[in-house]
Amino acid sequence: MAPQFVLIGPPGAGKTSIGRHLARAMKMDFADTDSIIEEEQGKSIAQLFIDDGEPFFRQIEERVCLETLQDFAGVLSLGGGAVLSANVAAAIENCGSNVIFLDVTLAVAAPRIGFNRDRPLLLGNPRQQWQKLMDERRPIYESLATLRIMAGDRSVSEVVNEIVAMVDAK
């Protein structure tokens, strides 16, 4: 059993909010791997980075993603960096799900994620760091996606309606 939908994309693309609404529209369960990790570990992603470091977080993230990609049947939102794991990328490719890359520009993402909040990978110059992450990850997102949606500054409902229409047209 694999998710019907897997949402991938950078921080600020709306994976969680769009995922929740898509799950409601499709009458499915919703899961977010970042939320699963936070609940399991008893601390925020940012605190995990601070206390235990990125390598520790990435190990947990890989395990949670692989388990969820195998055992969850609804709409699944993955953390932005999950696709950097070759094992996770392979699992995404082989799961048979609708893999949706929610694309967004820096101009749209910036106010959504609030660069003044705890985002360990965006320390220093947050806008420059976000762009660097996106430049690195974009080819991976694009190669894994079966659908690419420009989330842009559109409403969650508009994006969900587009996803539903695209899936229905398949």
pLDDT in tens, the chain (170 residues): 789 999 999 888 889 999 999 999 999 999 999 999 999 999 998 889 889 988 999 999 999 999 999 999 999 999 999 999 999 999 999 999 999 999 987 666 665 565 545 545 445 566 777 778 888 999 999 999 999 999 877 899 999 999 999 888 76
Sorted by where each starts, the structural domains of the chain and their CATH numbers stand as 5-155 (3.40.50.300)
Q: Which residues pair with 148 in a beta bridge?
A: 101
Q: What pLDDT is recorded for position 110? A: 62
The per-residue pLDDT for range 60-84, each reduced to its tens digit, is 999 999 999 999 999 999 999 999 9
Burial of 66 (0-12, 13-18, 19+ CB in 10 A): middle
* Torsion sign (Cα): 13, 65, 160, 168: positive
Task: Provide the b/e sequence for 127-164 (b: ≥16 CB within 10 Å).
Answer: eebbeebbeebeebbeebbbeebebeebeeeebbebbe
- Which of 168, 121, 87 has its CA nearest to residue 12? 121
The widest CA-to-CA distance across the chain, in whole angstroms, is: 46
In eight-state DSSP terms, residue 156 is H
Q: What pLDDT is recorded for position 116? A: 47
Cα of 23 vs its chain's centroid, Å: 15
